[in-house]
Amino acid sequence: MLSLLRNSQFPVTNGEPALLDRDHSTLAFNERVLDWAVRDDVPLLERLRYLCIVSSNLDEFFEVRAEPHLAANQANERKGTFSVKSFERLADAVHRLVDTQYALYNEKLMPAFEAQGIRIVSHGDRNAAQRLWVKQFFERELRPLLIPVGLDPSHPFPQVANKTLNFIVRLSGKDAFGRENEIAIVKVPRVVPRLIRMPDKVAEHRAVFVSLSSVIRAHLVDLFPGRTVSQFSQFRVTRHSDLAVDEEDVKNLRTALRQGLVHRHFGQAVRLEVSAGCSEYLSQFLLKQFELPVKALYRVHGPVNLVRLTQLIDLVDRPDLCFPIYTPAFPVQMNQGQSIFEQLKRGDILFHQPFESFDGVLELLRQAVHDPQVLAIKQTIYRTGSDSQLMDLLREAVRRGKEVTVVVELKARFDEEANINWAEMLESIGAQVVYGVVGLKTHAKMMLITRREGRTLKRYGHLSTGNYNPRTARLYTDISHMTAAPGLTDDMEHVFVHLASQSKLPKLRKMWMAPFHLHRNLIDKINAIAKAARSGTPARIVAKMNSLTDEVLIRSLMAAGREGVKIDLIVRGACMLPAQVTGHTANIRVRSIIGRFLEHSRVFYFRLGEKEDLYLSSADWMNRNMVRRVELAWPVTDPVQRQRIVDECLVAYLHDRVDAWDLGASGAYTRSVPDPKTTAHCAQAALMARYSPNEPRQA
């Protein structure tokens, strides 16, 4: 059981149970991810991958969420929901999680790797031949890159970038000028790999590795000739990294963001990681330097950056220690070799990634690029990655003389630089690039193709719950929806014009759009369902999303549940709604599915008597998605298509007994326990089997 709250009785305020804490809910999600690293039925290299994913998630958590807690703690005052107590409670929870991570790494994973002939060997365990090789590697590859900085009035503490590996050293003796400056800093370049494989001649034909930190640690003394290294520790500082740009006060958002990226690596320090054996003197020195309290210090029994251990997965050629390769099927509703435009005239096409391939999206764009009848292509870009076939196709479309309009979201967190580069490239070749609406992030995912057919212009659209990113499309579950239905494509055209011109948005026929009416329409829908249930009409809500933190939507759901509406919520990550609280939310179940693939699709189902409505969306139920982003939700009206989405995205996950966690009345998640008398159902495994190219199936 993973505990969100430590109290046994749920607090009730003003007649309603208190909402769960968002940040602690995020940490509980990471505990669920970490469970995959614990499970013996998961291949060993995949267990390491999940361990590293948790570390990556924690990095982002600190970069984005920790600063307000820390600021309140430093000021010793309450700032909204942030206070000294909130900081200390959060720090205690993270310390527990990190301690669990490193215990798992040292006590379970490393011994398991050694049993498989894979070893990360420390300096103390290296034989003479290995030590000689490491020394030669250090002298040849590392020493020329390392410049130790001795601290004195003319050599202040150097700028230490966010999440970089560094060493702090305490020296005895005197320097070349007879002074006793005792502290030195060694910054380790990012370009150097964190794991180095030893050659077979010294590895005894096994997979033996050395960590970069252990190589440097073993030869620190060589960097300080004539001095004695008395104490040392590796360290890493995490900094607040959420870019803040006053869009109302800048003339060129792209230029302002590019300038901001330079300073991001040197924002306010929020966390300090050191080796477990770091002396009190050095740890206090670093805490003072970075102006951090003791609870922001994390002593770790291993490398300070577990994320970089993902290199081991690539360095070891052991497919038997990884998940079996899954090759997604080409979308079953698409006929390869035929015009997609002709197929869309017969009806909409939906496909379920990554069980079906993102190649379907690329094929639609490819056909549009090479079709002389296609005149214009419009597309939103949120996260497409630094190396993208899709962007290459857009570039080719411009070269072929088509009108290409791209709405690039420059403020996609941690993808700003890649998006700026794409925007500049597209502009340089003649594409129309716009950056959405000032003050809002454009998070909607849509592509609109305009094609001349006889004397008319016809539009074809693609809408998605996920990003136009071929890499993550192999890892995230999402729904792609292709359509030629005028109701949807006309709405898409209106949205594109609105984003480019910022003119008043006409009334949309089918879509709900944030920040204008998505929030209000969801609330109205929930309230209508509640009203019907109160009068005795059978009513049902099932919603799948990544996060549920919007208080208004949460309270609307709770009110509907009290009226008798049966509500199932499939929420992968943070969820602030307290489920299964007797007398309050007994009609509401919350499940979290943590599987091989990252659950990312957003699906909202409402049933009122015999009437069913189903919407796909780019939006989670978070306040930022409703009021600070451009988001879309759109209906799936074809009964067959709608039932397919219900079966694959909702029912399958509600019956999962392998990857599911249920939120209980105490605020804790409990992993679903399969019935030993039956075969446990796993939604993702079932979908992989259904869509595997090697399995017979029906379109």
Give CA–CA dist 287/296, Å, rounded.
8
Catalytic residue list contains 95: no
Cβ-in-10-Å burial (0-12, 13-18, 19+) of 25 comes to: buried
Cβ-in-10-Å burial (0-12, 13-18, 19+) of 241 comes to: buried
What local confidence, expressed as pLDDT, does residue 368 receive? Answer: 97
Bigger pLDDT: 68 vs 6: 68
Mean pLDDT of 473-488: 96
Mean pLDDT of 378-397: 84
pLDDT for residue 259 is more than 60: no
Q: Of the residues 240, 352, 443, 462, which is catalytic? A: 443
Cβ-in-10-Å burial (0-12, 13-18, 19+) of 124 comes to: exposed
Give CA–CA dist 592/581, Å, rounded.
17
Mean pLDDT of 501-512: 92
Chain CA centroid to CA 312, Å: 21
Which of 303, 57, 53 minimizes the C-alpha distance to 188?
Answer: 303
DSSP E strand boundaries for 382-484: 403-408, 432-434, 441-442, 446-453, 456-464, 476-483
Label residues 296-329 b or e (16+ Cβ within 10 Å = b): bbbbbebbbbbbbbbbbbeebebeebeeeeeebb
Mean pLDDT of 409-427: 70
Q: How many CA atoms lie within 13 A of 386 on its CB side?
A: 5
Average of per-residue pLDDT values in the chain:
90
Beta strand pairing call for 269-275 and 118-120: unpaired
What letter does residue 142 receive in the DSSP assignment? I
What local confidence, expressed as pLDDT, does residue 372 receive? Answer: 97
pLDDT tens-digit series, residues 278-309: 999 999 999 999 999 999 999 999 999 999 99
Count the Cβ atoms, other than its own, within 10 Å of residue 278: 23
Question: Is the separation of the CB atoms in 420 and 258 below 8 Å?
Answer: yes
Question: Is the separation of the CB atoms in 377 and 394 below 8 Å?
Answer: yes
Work out the pLDDT band at 247, boundaries 50, 70, 90.
very low
pLDDT for residue 3 is more than 50: no
What local confidence, expressed as pLDDT, does residue 249 receive? Answer: 45
What local confidence, expressed as pLDDT, does residue 415 receive? Answer: 57
pLDDT for residue 117 is more than 90: yes
Work out the pLDDT band at 36, boundaries 50, 70, 90.
very high
Which of 2, 29, 14 minimizes the C-alpha distance to 620?
Answer: 29
Number of H helices, E strands in the chain: 22, 29
At 9, the amino acid letter reads Q
Angle at 582 between CA 576 and CA 584, to 5 degrees: 55
Mean pLDDT of 123-128: 92
Tell me which H or E stretch contains 360: helix 359-370
Question: Is the separation of the CB atoms in 10 and 667 below 8 Å?
Answer: yes
What local confidence, expressed as pLDDT, does residue 79 receive? Answer: 86
pLDDT for residue 10 is more than 90: no
Mean pLDDT of 552-579: 97
What local confidence, expressed as pLDDT, does residue 281 receive? Answer: 97
Please report the domains of the chain, with CATH numbers, ordered by start residue.
12-321 (3.30.1840.10), 340-508 (3.30.870.10), 514-691 (3.30.870.10)
What are the residues whose beta carbons fall under 8 Å from the beta carbon of 13, sequence distance 6 or more? none
Question: Is the separation of the CB atoms in 513 and 495 below 8 Å?
Answer: yes
Mean pLDDT of 570-576: 97
Mean pLDDT of 437-462: 92
Question: Is the separation of the CB atoms in 69 and 85 below 8 Å?
Answer: no
What local confidence, expressed as pLDDT, does residue 387 receive? Answer: 66
pLDDT tens-digit series, residues 535-545: 999 999 999 99
What local confidence, expressed as pLDDT, does residue 501 receive? Answer: 87
